[in-house]
Structures are given as C-alpha cells and as structure tokens.
Structure 1
Amino acid sequence: MSRLTIYSDVSNAEAAAIPLQESNDPAEITGLLSDRGIGFERWPLRPELPEGAGPEAVLEAYAGEIERVQATGSFPTVDAIRLGPDHPDRVALRQKFLDEHTHGEDEVRFFVEGRGLFCLHIGAEVLQVLCEQGDFLRVPAGTRHWFDMGSAPRFSALRFFDNPEGWVATFTGDSIAERYPLLD
C-alpha cells in the first residue's frame, strides 16, 4: 500500500525519525504532495501483463498512459526497467541513489511491479513516498531527493526522460539521507 510520511528536516537523527504526518490514503497523498508541487496518481494495473514481463511487453501494455504523459511535450524518451534481488550491481546502485541529488529535468516514474521509497527534501520537510505497484510520481526538476530501493530490490518501472542521456544527477553532498528511515 502506498504511504506518505512527512518529517521535519532536522540535524538530530533521533528527532528526524519522528513523523509529523502519515497517510496511506491515495487521495490524501495526492493532495498533500500536490500542495508541495509533486505529482502523484494511481494508474489502473494491466491484469494481462504477467509478473516479470519484459520491457517491450510493459511498454506495450501501458502505451495509452505513456502517450498521455508524452503529450505534455516534455518526455520524448521512455523506458522500462527491472531490478531484482539478484542484480549484480544492486549494492552500488542503492548507495548511489541514496545520496541526495537533483536533476535538471522532472523525475517521472510509474511502478509496474514492486516498490521503492522516494525521499523528497522540500524546504524544512522531508517527505517519504513509498511507491508501490500502480503509483505514478512526478518530481519537479531541481527538487532535492534520494531514492531507496532496499537491500533486496524488486521492482519494475517506467521511466520518462526529457534528456536522451537518461538519468543524470547532480549530487548535493548533503548526508541528510543518513538521518531518515530506509526502506528495509
């Protein structure tokens, strides 16, 4: 189940771990994130898509939604990725994504399977969005954030890009992610 947890941005790790607000209600999550400029939607799942489907099948199954997102004119490139607990680079990838960073473009993801934890550092708050199957998240360019896929990642996602090079990050050097709960 999708979950939003809001924390204060504080330097004390004990205080940082105390949530200010939590919600599992998709409508409330959508509203709270929208108030902060973050897009969140629940997309219908494709029951005809078997678990473990390859990238081509995922792209085909969600062609209508992809077309709708691309119609905004911002995302000419889309791909489907899959990361499992046996991925040889999972430890290095997790560590890289756990470092706070920004992007020069919106970060847009749709979770086809599994889950991942997006952590957004907005003003004096840290918002943790546990995205699960069926969740679409749009994080505006320049938003400080990090992502935790867990120690045994298991997800498939659509990624939308403005930049044909794909995922390009500017790391902030802030160790803020160390003060907040991780996925597992």
Structure 2
Amino acid sequence: MTLLTTWPESGPGTLLRRTADPVEIAAALEPLGVRYERWPVREDVPADADSETVFAAYGPQIDRLTAEEGFTTVDVLGLHPGDDPEYPVRAKAAREKFLQEHTHDDDDEVRFFVSGSGVFYLHVGSEVHAVYCEKGDLLGVPRGATHWFDMGTRPSFTAIRFFHEEDGWIATFTGSAIASRFPDYDTLAAGYEQEKDAA
C-alpha cells in the first residue's frame, strides 16, 4: 500500500498529512501534477523478474500508458540483494545518485513498482510530500518538479520506467541538502511496517 506523508519544508517536526487511503492520496497529488495509479498486482511475477517476464505480464497496462502519454522508451530496472558480489557497491552508488534533490527539465519521471518499494520525495512550494510506493503503485513526477528518491540502504525492487526522451534519466541537481533533513526510506519503511503489523 502507498503511504503519503506531508511536512513543511522546514523539517519533519510538524506533520501536515499522513494517509494510506488511495483516494485521499490521489486527491492530494493531483493538484501537484503528480500521476498516481494502482495497477492489479501480478503475484505470478517473481520479485527479481527479468525484462521479458515483466513486459509479458504488464503488456496491456504498458501499452495503454504509452499510448496515452506518448512515451518512446520503456525499460525495466531491478536491484536486489543476492549472490552478486557487486551488489553492495552498485546499491550504494544507485542510492546516492537519486538521493540528492533534483529536477528533470525535459521529461517526466514515471515509475511502476513491479516488486519492492521506494520513496519519492516531492518538494513543492513550502511543503515536502513523501510518497512511499510498493508493488502495484505507479507514480508520475512531472518535468520540472523538484524531488528526490530513496531506495534504502539495502535496495530491493523492480520497476518499469517510462521516458519521452530516448536519453532516459537526465537530472539537474539543485545543490540543496534538504534531503538530509527528512526521514529516509529505512525510517519510513520501519514505521510503516510496525503500523501494518499492529493493525
């Protein structure tokens, strides 16, 4: 399930919103120009499925979204702990790349989570919105929106990425240290799991 948490940009001392209701999340994100959808989850798709398996499983949804938005490139990105001795190095480098506040001048950032989870942080106006996404969630951050993404210290996810531009992910970094002021993925995920266990 998705979790939306909103704070003032000054820091997380004041909680402005916290909801796991998909209707409320969609209503809160729509005015920000953020696309949020829930796709039916394919439980028969392994968490670390390869691109061919993912495309076969989610073909109709991919085709619909590509037709609606005019995407030219769709790919699958996966990062999972396992037997790969390079995983710690690759995971750290990937996390650091996305963890700094940035914008995309020429493209939206659209991701569908096939498995695993991650948090998009949207810095809009005087607020920061943390959108904790799990499998089945699609999130589209509009071009020009200031944001960052955290996959945690031990990333484990597979995501479909949609691009209008063939060059793929190109970021303009703001140089701000704002990301360091807010709870990271590991903190949010741990709290969320405790809440679900208690429910």
**Uncovered stretches (5+) of structure 1, i.e. residues with no partner:** none
Question: Structure 1 residue 97 and structure 2 residue 98: aligned?
Answer: yes
CA distance in 2, matches of 1:17, 1:56: 44
Matches within 5 A, 1:116-135: 116-135=118-137
Q: What is the identity, as a one-letter code, of the residue corresponding to 1:50?
A: P
CA distance in 1, matches of 2:69, 2:24: 28
For the Cα contact (< 8 Å) 1:17–1:181, is it kept in 2? no
**What residue is the counterpart of 1:137 in the other structure?**
139
**What residue is the counterpart of 1:166 in the other structure?**
168
> Offset at 1:72?
2.1
CA distance in 2, matches of 1:160, 1:6: 26
**What residue is the counterpart of 1:2 in the other structure?**
2
CA distance in 2, matches of 1:47, 1:129: 23
| TM-score, with length taken from structure 1 | 0.93
RMSD: 1.2
| Structure 1 residues 175 and 69: alpha-carbon distance in aligned structure 2, compared to 1, 3 A threshold | same
| Structure 1 residues 146 and 65: alpha-carbon distance in aligned structure 2, compared to 1, 3 A threshold | same
Matched residues, number = 180
Give the counterpart of 1:51 among 24, 43, 47.
47
> Offset at 1:128?
0.2
Whose helix proportion is higher, 1 or 2?
2
Q: What is the identity, as a one-letter code, of the residue corresponding to 1:77?
A: T
SS in structure 2 at match of 1:33: helix
> Offset at 1:73?
4.4
SS in structure 2 at match of 1:78: strand
For the Cα contact (< 8 Å) 2:48–2:80, is it kept in 1? no
> Offset at 1:17?
4.0
CA distance in 1, matches of 2:141, 2:152: 20
For the Cα contact (< 8 Å) 1:79–1:158, is it kept in 2? yes
CA distance in 2, matches of 1:171, 1:163: 19
Moved more, 124-133 or 80-89: 80-89
Question: Structure 1 residue 23 and structure 2 residue 19: aligned?
Answer: yes
Question: Structure 1 residue 84 and structure 2 residue 80: aligned?
Answer: yes
| TM-score, with length taken from structure 2 | 0.87
CA distance in 2, matches of 1:170, 1:69: 26
**What residue is the counterpart of 2:153 in the other structure?**
151
> Offset at 1:51?
3.2
| Structure 1 residues 39 and 48: alpha-carbon distance in aligned structure 2, compared to 1, 3 A threshold | same
